A and B are shown apart, each in its own frame.
Chain A
Amino acid sequence: MFYRENGQFKTSYQADQQIFPIVQDRWFMLVLLLIAFIGVPWFATDYMFSAILIPFVIMAMAALGVNILVGYCGQISLGSGAFMAVGAYGAYNFFARVPGLPLIPTLILGGLCATVFGVLFGLPSLRVRGLYLAVATLAAQFFADWMFLRIKWFTLDTPSGSVSVSNLQVFGLPIESDVSKYLFCLILLCVVALLAKNLVRGAIGREWMAIRDMDVAAAVIGIRPMYAKLSAFAVSSFIIGMAGALWAFIYLGAWEPSAFSVDQSFRLLFMVIIGGMGSIMGGFLGAAFIVVLPIFLNQFLPVLASWLGMTMSTTVVSHAELMIFGALIVWFLIVEPHGLARLWAIGKQKMRVWPFPY
């Protein structure tokens, strides 16, 4: 009834090719952006910013990057944590060694370091595929762990190997308060998401998808597998590297290599699988699921217990949190193997036909 594209005619190629061809979608996006930029800072508390929204925004960016590689190009990667680490430490080294380097170029340089690293570790993808590639990219993870633990040059010879940044600013505006951090990350996320959306809609995105669906057929119709695969690795690790730099600079402030351990790689892969492979929306939904749900459970379970007249110790809560979280993952994957983004699409379809489903 409300969500229907009847009567919306496209009279130009431009209108036909826009990201949101349906008017309602455009309005929805506008409202969403207004809420994200104006509404959320209005009501969110410091806690929501620093513990939920900022990690969510940064992880959404990382998941977006992983989705390009895994979801669009079909190259399973377990090296995402390493790409984040390279982005973070790359940006840190530029930031600490080049005096007066502004923050945004620093982040971009960090992303470029991750790009180089990603392409390098993407080379095995030309020979191996599927699960074997996952194992090969795992090497990137172990290599990064080793590199940032052992090569002291990267951590500026700090005695404990932990590094930190402070006095961040953009165009003279300090990035100190939680609101400014959130808005900064959000702006970057919007830019990156727009970029990614347009890339996957364009020729290069179609190449990636052709490789994902059947690489031999893609090669036969004239798509260069090497170019397509390595460009997917490059773009994806650039985005993941930037997200890693943001995670370190904005969210943690001080970090050590264990912040980007293999757990992080798995979390990112789960985000993409649960959120929906091959969907920009999926990255956001998956990040919300993996980042926000455990924290929600952790805080909600004691409240629930107190309603039932019980008290829960923190141990019980954190065990229950893990169990419920695991059960929910299984449940979602059974109900909708294509991820939350597919649920979203089904929801939209239902809205279109509502109130006459048949």
Chain B
Amino acid sequence: MGHWQAENARLAFPVLTWVLCESNLKETKMKKPVLLLSALLTSVWLSATSSAWAQSKEQFVPVLSYRTGPYAPNGTPWANGFVDYLKLVNTKGGINGVKIAYEECETGYDTARSVECYERLKSKNPSFVQTLSTGATFAITEKAPGDKIPVLTIGYGRSESSDGAVFKWNFPIAGTYWVAADTILQAIAKKEGGWDKLKGKKIALVYHDSPFGKEPIPLIQERSRNHGFELQLLPVTPPGVEQKATWLQVRQSKPDYVVLWGWGVMNSTAIKEAQATGYAREKMYGVWWAGAEPDVKDVAEGAKGYNAITIQHGAEPNSDIVKTMLTQIHGKGQGTGPKEEVGQVLYLRGVMSAMIGIEGIRSAQERFGKGKVMTGEQVRWGLENLNLTQAKLDALGFKGVMRPISTSCMDHMGAAWTRVHTWNGKAWEFTSDWMQADEQILKPLVKATADKYAAEKKLTRRTGQDCQS
């Protein structure tokens, strides 16, 4: 019996290949259960992947998420919030009657796997794609224009893509890393008592050594030239569980402030290291990816005083949208994740990301026909002409959570509002007013970088006429 099985196994693979290649049906007469099973599995797979997806009356939203791998603790609440919001839209009857269909694809924060997911879900006529990793954003940015799928990067992605005249298909709506970096520096300046007080000070940037972590550098360098503070760059190799050397440098050079540009396990490690080296947490400012519950929960009291920037929202457990989510989705047993995370920072980021995408579809429907399924091209127009007034946001349940966003052909970002929140040992609480990134700094930098990209790709800037289409 053992021998017979081994024989089967030895034959299955080459014979299967042979059969598939030559379509020689004679071989299949051999009674080889393994072979038949493999052939069956393969055919099922082929039919599952290659069949043309029928154009249904549903608007398809792909969900690229990472619930596994080193970044899973942060990726999971985001995905839960995103999916919960899509469910909420469906329980309310969809977008003017058009229901949302969605499918999740696990990327593990891996660029190649994200591209595979993108290609897999592309055939289902996605309304938009949210890449959820800077590496994937770069790869998909090159593919999306050809496929006519808008790329939504809510609060992340490549900062220069807010220039809609060059990046026709990219939408970093609500803010970019440059917005985050600029407002962090504003908060520091305010704490010091004005920009002029920053002269001669030293600010260290502890960053995730990846495109994500390097994004803010040009902006901070620009500010450092203008205001005369010294910038110290301290890269941390991903995933960032080993930071002893970095914090030794911090201890030696004693920077006045540390800006933490981390993600996942890197954040809690950094805060623990800061605690161990005795660096004051009050002088640490994180980007919004470093300002959520999983980053500080393990350190709890040790992280007290640690600040992080938020793009639009922070943790909002008392907001209307959270209450709706708890009653309409979790109350009916439809919740995707645990109930406790509803209202936390990353969960809400997922909710907000989904909401902006859905509102883009809604605004497209207003032009191209209500109650119709929108194509990627139509959604692109919708996202470009998005006008989320405060009244609309309040009606959606985002009162006090978000400020108005209005995009245009030239400005794909729509708003640059941020706040600082501080960890009090148990919860995040806001410690600043609404701030806005400085246009004077941002605009020339965006334009210069976008122009460089356009020159590299031999693109011409979109004209007013193209904006109408």
Does B112 sit within 8 A of A, measured CB to CB? yes
Does B158 contact A96, Cβ atoms closer than 8 Å? Answer: no
Give, as a whole number of angstroms, the nearest-CB distance from B36 to chain A.
16
| A55-B112, A344-B14, A347-B18 known; A315+B68 contact, CB < 8 A | yes
Other-chain residue from A35, A96, A300 in contact with B45 (beta carbon distance below 8 A): A300
Does the CB pair B21–A314 fall under 8 Å?
no
Flag if A298 contacts B106 (CB, 8 Å). Answer: yes
Report the bound CA distance from A149 to B65 in whole Å: 26
Q: Find chain A residues with CB under 8 A from B115 CB.
A: 50-51, 251-252
> Could you tell me if A255 and B41 are in contact, using CB atoms closer than 8 angstroms?
no
Contacts of B135 in A (CB 8 A): 162, 255-256, 258-259
**A296-B13 in contact given A47-B119, A252-B139, A254-B139 (Cβ < 8 Å):** no
Q: Tell me whether B122 and A166 are in contact (CB under 8 A).
A: no
Tell me whether A47 and B123 are in contact (CB under 8 A): yes
Given contacts A162-B211, A259-B111, contact A32 B67 (CB under 8 A): no
Other than the given A35-B21, A251-B112, 6 more pairs (CB < 8 A) read A51-B115, A149-B235, A166-B142, A252-B112, A254-B138, A258-B135
Q: How far is the CB of A225 from chain B (nearest CB, A)?
A: 36
Complex contact A252–B123 (CB within 8 A): no
B138 touches A300 (CB 8 A): no
A selection of 24 A-B contacts at a CB cut-off of 8 Å is A31-B22, A44-B50, A46-B119, A46-B123, A47-B50, A51-B115, A149-B209, A159-B214, A159-B218, A160-B215, A162-B135, A252-B111, A255-B135, A256-B138, A258-B111, A299-B45, A300-B48, A314-B67, A315-B106, A317-B106, A318-B108, A319-B68, A335-B9, A347-B11
Residues of chain B in range 98-116 having any CB-CB distance to chain A below 8 Å: 104-106, 108, 111-112, 115-116
Indicate with 1 or 0, residue by residue over A20-42, a CB within 8 angstroms of chain B CB atoms. Answer: 00000000100110010000000
Is there contact, CB below 8 Å, between A346 and B116? no
Contacts A167-B458, A347-B14; A253 near B49 (Cβ below 8 A): no
**Which listed residue (B22, B50, B106, B218) contacts A45, Cβ 8 A?**
B50
B residues in contact with A258, CB < 8 Å = 111, 135, 210, 238
Q: Which A residues from 330 to 358 make CB contacts under 8 A with B?
A: 335-336, 340, 343-344, 346-348, 350
Q: Contact check, B111 vs A255: say whether CB atoms are below 8 A apart.
A: yes
Known contacts A149-B235, A299-B45, A314-B106, A159 near B217 by CB under 8 Å? yes
Nearest 9 A-B pairs (CB), nearest first?
Answer: A347-B14, A253-B142, A160-B211, A254-B138, A51-B119, A314-B106, A315-B67, A162-B211, A318-B106
Q: What's the interface size class on B, roughly?
A: 35 or more
In the docked arrangement, what's the CA distance between A335 and B3, Å?
Answer: 11
Residue of A nearest to B221 (CB): A159
Q: Is B241 located at the chain interface by the 8 A CB criterion?
A: no
Q: How far is the CB of B177 from chain A (nearest CB, A)?
A: 9
B134 at the interface (CB under 8 A from A): yes
Bound-state Cα–Cα, A46 to B52, Å:
11
A47 to B123, CA, bound (A): 7
Q: Is the beta-carbon distance between B158 and A314 smaller than 8 angstroms?
A: no
Please provide the chain A residues from 258 to 273 with a CB less than 8 Å away from any CB of chain B in the complex: 258-259
Q: In this assembly, does A120 line the interface, its C-beta being within 8 Å of a C-beta of chain B?
A: no
CB of B456 closer than 8 Å to a CB of A: yes
Interface range, A side: 35 or more
Which residues of chain B are within 8 angstroms of A327 by Cβ–Cβ distance?
A: none
Q: Is A164 an interface residue (CB 8 A)?
A: yes
B332 in contact (CB, < 8 A) = no
Inter-chain contact B141/A347, CB cutoff 8 Å: no
Q: Is the CB of B116 within 8 A of A300?
A: no
Q: Within 8 Å of chain A (Cβ to Cβ): is B464?
A: no
Residue of B nearest to A315 (CB): B67
Q: Is the CB of B6 closer than 8 A to any CB of chain A? A: yes
Which of B11, B214, B217 is packed against the most chain A CB atoms within 10 Å? B214
CA distance A167 to B17 in the complex (A): 36
Residue of B nearest to A156 (CB): B456
Task: Pick the residue among A46, A55, A299, A319 that contacts B122 (CB under 8 A).
Answer: A46
Per-residue A-contact encoding for B33-51, CB less than 8 Å = 1, 0 else: 0000000010011001110
**A161 at interface, CB cutoff 8 A:** yes
Q: How far is the CB of B352 from chain A (nearest CB, A)?
A: 21
Whether A161 lies near B68 (C-beta < 8 A) is no
Q: Which of B41, B104, B105, B209 contacts A300 (CB 8 A)?
A: B41
Q: Which of B218-243 contact A (CB under 8 A)?
A: 218, 235, 238
Asked if A343 contacts B13 (CB within 8 A), the reply is yes
A160 CB contact (under 8 Å) in B76, B158, B458: B158
Asked if B65 and A314 make an inter-chain contact with CB atoms under 8 angstroms apart, the answer reads yes
Determine the chain B residues whose CB is within 8 A of the CB of A313 once the complex forms.
67, 104
**A348 CA to B14 CA in the complex, in Å?**
8
Give residues in B with beta carbon < 8 Å to A: 6, 9-11, 13-15, 17-18, 21-22, 41, 44-45, 48-50, 65, 67-68, 76, 104-106, 108, 111-112, 115-116, 119-120, 122-123, 134-135, 138-139, 141-143, 146, 158, 209-212, 214-215, 217-218, 235, 238, 449, 456-458
Nearest CB on A from B139, distance (A): 5
In the bound complex, residues from chain A placing their C-beta under 8 Å from that of B10 are: 335-336, 343, 346-347
CB of A226 within 8 A of chain B? Answer: no
Nearest chain B CB to A300 CB, angstrom units: 5
Chain B residue at minimal CB-CB distance from A345: B14
**Chain B residues positioned under 8 Å from A46 (CB to CB):** 119, 122-123
Bound-complex Cα distance A157 to B170 (A): 22
A134-168 toward B: CB 8 Å interface, digit per residue (1/0)?
00000000000000010000000001111010110
Given the contacts A255-B139, A315-B67, A96 and B217 also touching, CB distance less than 8 Å: no
**A343-B14 in contact (CB<8A):** yes
Q: Which residue of B lies closest to A294 (CB)?
A: B113
Q: Give Cα A303–Cα B119 distance, bound, in whole angstroms.
A: 19
Q: Cβ of B215: which chain A residues have Cβ within 8 Å of it?
A: 159-160
For A116-141 the 0/1 string (1 means CB < 8 A from B) is 00000000000000000000000000
Say yes or no: A335 contacts B108, CB within 8 Å.
no
* Residues of A with C-beta under 8 A to B49: 45, 47-48, 299
Query: Chain B's nearest CB lies how many Å from the CB of A311?
Result: 11
B44 contacts which chain A residues (CB < 8 A)? 300, 303
CA distance A166 to B11 in the complex (A): 44
A166 touches B457 (CB 8 A): yes
Chain B's closest residue to A348 (CB) is B14
Closest partner residue, chain B, to A32 (CB atom): B21
Residues of B within 8 A of A5 (CB): none
Residues of B within 8 A of A251 (CB): 112, 115
Q: How far is the CB of B151 from chain A (nearest CB, A)?
A: 12
Cα(A313)–Cα(B18), bound, Å:
35
A176 beta carbon closer than 8 Å to chain B = yes
- Is B21's CB under 8 angstroms from A51's CB? no
A299 touching B457 by the CB < 8 A rule? no
- Give the shortest distance, in Å, between B92 (CB) and chain A (any CB): 23
A296, closest chain B residue (CB): B45
Q: Is A295 an interface residue (CB 8 A)?
A: yes
| One of B48, B65, B108, B456 near A299 (C-beta < 8 A) | B48
Which residues of B lie under 8 Å from residue A55 when comparing CB positions? 112, 116
Query: B21 contacts A31, CB within 8 Å?
Result: yes
Name the B residues within 8 Å of A344 (CB-CB). 13-14, 17
* Bound-state Cα–Cα, A253 to B116, Å: 13
A47, chain B: closest CB distance, angstroms? 5
- Establish whether residues A259 and B235, one from each chain, have CB atoms under 8 Å apart when the complex forms: no
